[in-house]
Structures are given as structure tokens and as C-alpha cells.
Amino acid sequence: MLTIFTIVLNGSPYIQRHLEIFDKLKIPWQWRIVEGVSNPRNCTRWCREIPPKWHKNFVSIDGTHEYLKELKHPNVLSVSQNAPWDGKIEMIQKALEGVSDGVVMEIDADEYMESYNEIFNWMVGLTKPDSFDQYKNLQNSDDGLYSDASLIILDSKGNPGVEVHYKDVFPISLSPINFDTTQTAANHGDILSRCFCNS
């Protein structure tokens, strides 16, 4: 199961465009949306509080709230509240409540899934193509069977901290990479070795 989550305040008109893309996915998916004002706590404690002119009763004022209230889709769950969330971490925890396995992916309200779809289509073409032509077309394309990949680990301010570059990688799975930032020294080599199978 692919769990996509979005935390949003005033995401219109972008958020309305996601569902048509998600409906084209050929794998089981769910989209969880948590909407509203987030207090500057924990990882966003340096941010300013959201001024009242950007919300009404702590929800969006640009049509996002109304869109989410009217959205009826079996794969979509949206949550809002008439109080500020206690930081973005609380919003993410709410979005992931009850999710225990599968792939988890965050999509910002103002971005689309082109990058994910490109990687997914590459993996399907390699591992479980609908036809031999799909594999052959991938083999003869500019993308080819192998690709270079970069893993960029960001620091707490969103700046690149560590960059790891791979050459000629071949996908074996599309899964989350879990980091525990409470440890003082993470074994990045162990984490990375499970992500890619180098040819």
C-alpha cells in the first residue's frame, strides 16, 4: 500500500489537481490530508506564528477547506480542527495514524507526482512490465536500465548535510528510509545498503 500524506494550509488551486493523478496509479494507495494552522513548535520553532489574516478558525481561507469537506473518495481521508496543531510533527503523526507498513510518501500541496511516476514506471518496466515491448522500449530509451542516484540527507534547517552518489543503480524496491534523528551517530552505510542494488 502506498500512503501519501499532505499537510496543508491554503493549498488551492494546487491541491485540487492531485486526485486525478493519484487515480491513475496501478497500485493500492491512500491519500491522507491534514489541514490547518500549525504552531511553531519542535522542528519549526524558529518560524513565526501564522497571522489571523491567513486563516479563519485555524483552517484555510482560499477554498482548500471547502474542497476537502466536499471531497468524497474511498481512498482519501482528510482531517482538520478548529484549533492550531501543536507543530507540523503533530500534523504528520495524525496523517500517519494507523499506518504500519507499505511505502509512505509526502506530497506538498503545490507539487505533483512526476518524479515518483518516473521512478515507478522505470521500476515496472524493469521488474514486471505489461509486455516485452515495455521492457524493450525502456532498454532502448535514453533512460536505459540503469541510472545514477543521489541521496541527500538534510540537516534540521533543510540544508544538505551529507550527499551520497551512486552510479549505475538498479531498483529492487521502492520503500521508505527511516532515520532516527535522536541518535547521535547513525550508521548510514547500513541504511543505504538496503536501498539500492549496485550492478
186 has pLDDT over 60: no
- Are 21 and 71 found together in one domain? yes
- Are 120 and 100 found together in one domain? no
- Are 104 and 21 found together in one domain? yes
- Are 8 and 93 found together in one domain? yes
- Burial of 7 from C-beta contacts in 10 A (0-12 / 13-18 / 19+): buried
For residues 126 and 145, give the distance between their C-alpha atoms in angstroms, rounded to a whole number: 7
Averaged confidence pLDDT in the chain: 79
Q: What is the structure's pLDDT at 7?
A: 94
Lowest mean pLDDT among 62-66, 68-72, 168-172: 168-172
Q: What is the pLDDT of residues 4-41, one digit of tens each?
A: 999 999 999 889 888 888 888 888 899 999 999 999 88
For residues 196 and 199, give the distance between their C-alpha atoms in angstroms, rounded to a whole number: 9
Q: What is the structure's pLDDT at 113?
A: 63
Contact 78, 127 (CB under 8 A): no
- Are 21 and 117 found together in one domain? no
Lowest mean pLDDT among 56-60, 153-157, 190-194: 190-194
- Are 40 and 98 found together in one domain? yes
Structural domain that includes position 139: 113-144
- Are 120 and 177 found together in one domain? no
66 has pLDDT over 60: yes
- Are 177 and 81 found together in one domain? no
Q: What is the structure's pLDDT at 98?
A: 92
Spatial strand order in the sheet of 2-8: 76-80, 29-35, 2-8, 103-106
Grid coordinates belonging to 4: 501519501
Q: What is the pLDDT of residues 94-112, one digit of tens each?
A: 999 999 888 888 888 877 6
- Are 71 and 85 found together in one domain? yes
